[in-house]
Amino acid sequence: MAEKQKNIILTGDRPTGKLHIGHYVGSLKRRVALQESGAYDEIYILIADAQALTDNADNPQKIRDNIIEVALDYLSCGIDPEKTTICIQSALPALTELSFYYMNLVTTARLERNPTVKTEIRMRGFDKGGEGIPVGFYTYPISQAADITAFKANCVPVGEDQMPMLEQCREIVHKFNSTYGEVLVDPRIMLNDNETCRRLPGTDGKAKMSKSLGNCIYLSDSREALHKSVMSMFTDPNHINISDPGQVEGNAVFTYLDAFATDGHFQRYLPDYENLAQMKDHYRRGGLGDVKCKKFLEKVLNEELDPIRERRARWEADIPGVYEILREGTERARKKTQETLEEVRAAMKINYFDNNALISEWMERHPAGKA
Ligand code: TRP
């Protein structure tokens, strides 16, 4: 390839629900920072509706509704459609075609070994009775490899739960390139350096925020809803009286503070302490009550969420404008992915009608009159 490798980012989300602050610290906030860094030539965010359908075949309405929700979440967080292309997966036919060719480069045994697929099969109960595992679901790691490679992305900033997907994608890239020639770009996963941000627990202290557990704080939550969530948050069940020593490990309030609080927040809202380490020491010693901690956390979160709420209100008043952003972004993405598809077809020499090798090679091997 003569062309210098561009710096291209691709990320995506399944539109199965509104995004929450776990998505925000785990990924969204950084996408905005990467967008503003100016270090990338192209940035794409894929709303992965086709992937969402792999285990929601009976509920396209839910997916349709959440495309708008997720787009609103992006725009509210500061994703700028002038700098980042937001696009809809199912409107990019090149992705489907790429998946179809990549399927021949992956074994069923390899798919079965994919840890994300394994866990999800268990989580969704596909393994227990019912109708079994939908083929589309089973093969979605291949379709995700198509997403990533179609944009020639070299950088994929996602949560660590996506690591097995990236590994599988890289295997497909290597297999393709060694079989047909160097066309696909080897993508690198970009994880968040802040450990806490990678996996923010739910407000109940459980492992992960999830809609079904009702332990989420959504980016679209009002100040009132946030107040309720924070005040009912899981802390240390043995910290009964203020004077009791408390534990900060596994205490959701402190985990959230780890993810969000800066020294500046202490100066502005809780000057009793210079920083989080001092506050934690006091909590551990005893004498610091949960309510005081929660009130501080609430202020910290509101400082982060207020500008997001304001932008959201503006975009909510212009849904046709949001739709237009999606339409234009998808159009741009369609061109980009189509180009890659054409290179792939050329490398595989299945572009029969773009190059006459089909007949010229045949004729060479079959000199006239000797067919
Ligand atoms: N699987 C991702 C998730 O569940 C969503 C996704 C689809 C994605 N295609 C992608 C992420 C391509 C990164 C790159 O969150």
CATH number, domain of 105, equals 3.40.50.620
CA angle 133–136–142, rounded 5-degree value: 120
Q: Are residues 144 and 15 in the same domain?
A: yes
Averaged over 171-189, what is the pLDDT? 97
Q: What percent of the chain has pLDDT over 70?
A: 98
In this structure, the answer to whether residues 22 and 66 fall within a common structural domain is yes
Query: At residue 264, does pLDDT exceed 50?
Result: yes
Question: Is 93 among the domain residues?
Answer: yes
> What is residue 192's predicted lDDT score, i.e. its pLDDT?
81
Does residue 207 lie in a domain region? no
Judge if 135 and 243 occupy the same domain: no
More confident site: 178 or 359: 178
Residue-averaged pLDDT of the chain: 93
**Ligand 1 pocket at CB < 6 A:** 10-14, 46, 48, 51, 144, 147-148, 156, 158, 162
Residue 183 lies in a domain: yes
Segment 295-316 mean pLDDT: 97
294: domain CATH number is: 1.10.240.10
Question: Quick one: 94 and 147 in the same domain?
Answer: yes
Whether residue 133 is predicted with pLDDT greater than 90 in this model: the reply is no
Q: Looking at ligand 1, which atom is closest to the CA of residue 165? A: 1
Using the predicted structure, report yes or no on whether residue 37 has a pLDDT greater than 70. yes
- Dihedral sign for Cα 61, 63, 65, 68, please: negative
Residue 228 lies in a domain: yes
How many domains does the chain contain in total? Answer: 2
CA–centroid distance, residue 79 to ligand 1 (Å): 17
Question: What's the mean pLDDT in 337-346?
Answer: 98
367 within a domain of the structure (yes/no): no
Residue 175, exposed/middle/buried by CB under 10 A (0-12, 13-18, 19+)?
middle
Is 160 in the same domain as 293? no
pLDDT at 243: 94
Together in a domain, 159 and 227: no
Q: How far is the CA of 227 from the centre of ligand 1 (A)?
A: 31
Mean pLDDT of 215-229: 96
Residue 370 — very low, low, confident or very high, per pLDDT cuts 50/70/90?
low
Confidence of residue 125 (pLDDT cuts 50, 70, 90): confident
Residue 59 inside a domain? The answer is: yes
CA 68, CA 63: separation in Å to the nearest integer? 9
Of 92, 165, 210, the residue with max ligand 1 atoms within 8 A of its CB, to mutate for a pocket test, comes to 165
pLDDT above 60 (res 2): no
pLDDT at 34 over 50: yes
What residue numbers bound the domain in which 36 lies? Answer: 8-200+318-360
Instruction: Please tell me whether residues 45 and 169 are part of one structural domain.
Output: yes
CB 85 within 8 A of CB 344: no
Q: Give the residue with greater pLDDT, 161 vs 229.
A: 229
Are 156 and 253 in a shared domain?
no
Tell me: do 145 and 245 sit in the same domain: no
Q: Is the same domain home to 66 and 27?
A: yes
Whether 367 shows a pLDDT value over 90: the answer reads no
